[in-house]
Amino acid sequence: MGIIDTWKLQLRTTFTDGDPSIPQWQFEFEKGDDVGYFPVGSAVWTVHSSMTPTVAGIRALLLQALHPGAMAGVHAHSSFREEPLGRLANTIRWIFTVTYGSRVAAQEGSAFVQRLHTRVNGTYTDSSGNEKPYSAADPELIRWVHLAFTDAFVAAHKAYGGPIPGGVDAYVAEWAAAGELMGLQDPPRSEAELRDQLAAFDGELSDSAQVQETLTYIRRPPLPRSQRIGYQILFAGAVATLEPRHREMLGLTVPSLGLIPLPIRTAVRLVLGVIRLGLGPAGPAETAAKKRISRLRGMTDTSTA
């Protein structure tokens, strides 16, 4: 195997928790009897089929870490220390299922995650120093995670991606369906509502030893040597898109790219372009979903002829 082939394999396994083969579930999106929640060319499809979610994933983890309830669940019930990429792979699977799967697949995938959430319970110390119970199924924690992901997708794409069909409001309104699939009531449906709901959590957010421990894993995950410089650029890009108040709470500043004589935005876009080159123009999940949609459209055309 040549150097380029080895690099491509390592790159793919980063997103599949070390599995050198393409996971079978990605091909399953060809099945189903409806087009799904998000049509090809929709705001959600456009953002999620780009490479900017690579940055958004880092940013979402940084932001989520600031809620002590969410952080307590990760520390007590997650294997992020031993398998940090495993958590990434599971998150990718759910996002892909909701984005590219049929409505039935999206509903079943979300119900499965919700069942897992019922097992994640415990107590945490809130920002005022009070001991409080938590559950990953708690509506407010579900809201926080949804807001963190939505904000991350929007911020990363605005900074490093192309235009969004219908603009940011369209993306937030469409992705509200993902929140509802997870049982969230009244998710934001515009950028203004997203900002308001995020700001409502400000009093609950805090830095802690747990947050800083998590940051060490987010800063330097166990990646192959060939990916470490690229990841540091993506990490810098994610930090640069955080709201100043969140960046300050995390104790972060926009990292310098050191010896790389490029602005962060240019450097991030370059790395994303290299990742796209390595993974290919369209992943198997997106390709399988398009086959399902084409099949269903063909059936509709035949029935109306």
Q: For residue 301, name the pLDDT band (cuts at 50, 70, 90).
A: low
Q: Average pLDDT over the chain, rounded to whole?
A: 85
Contacts of 198 (CB under 8 A, 6+ apart): 147, 151
pLDDT class for 304, splitting at 50, 70, 90?
Answer: very low
Alpha-carbon torsion 97, 102, 106, 112, what sign? negative
Is residue 1 over pLDDT 60? no
Evaluated on CA atoms 260, 262, 265, 270, the torsion sign reads negative
In this model, does residue 82 exceed pLDDT 60? no
Structure confidence by residue, pLDDT tens digits, 207-245: 888 888 888 888 888 888 888 889 999 999 999 999 999
The CA distance from 40 to 35, in Å, is 9
Per-residue pLDDT tens digits for 275-292: 888 777 778 899 999 999
Q: What is the pLDDT of residue 38?
A: 97
Return the pLDDT at 19: 57
- Residue 5, pLDDT > 50, answer yes
What's the confidence (pLDDT) of residue 297? 87
Q: What is the pLDDT of residue 20?
A: 60
Which of 47-51, 119-123, 216-220 has the least mean pLDDT? 119-123
> What are the structure tokens assigned to 200, written together?
């409502």
- Weakest mean pLDDT among 38-52, 118-132, 168-182: 118-132
* Distance separating alpha carbons of residues 23 and 214, to the nearest angstrom: 27
The dihedral through the CA atoms of 131, 137, 142, 143 has a sign that is negative
What is the per-residue pLDDT for 15?
Answer: 57
Give the model's confidence band at 25: pLDDT under 50 very low, under 70 low, under 90 confident, else very high.
confident
> In the chain, what are the domain boundaries?
3-294
Of the given ranges (3-17, 49-63, 290-304), which has the lowest mean pLDDT? 3-17
In terms of pLDDT, which residue wins out, 117 or 96?
96
Residue 18: per-residue pLDDT: 54
Q: Minimal CA–CA distance to 187: which of 179, 174, 63, 70?
A: 179
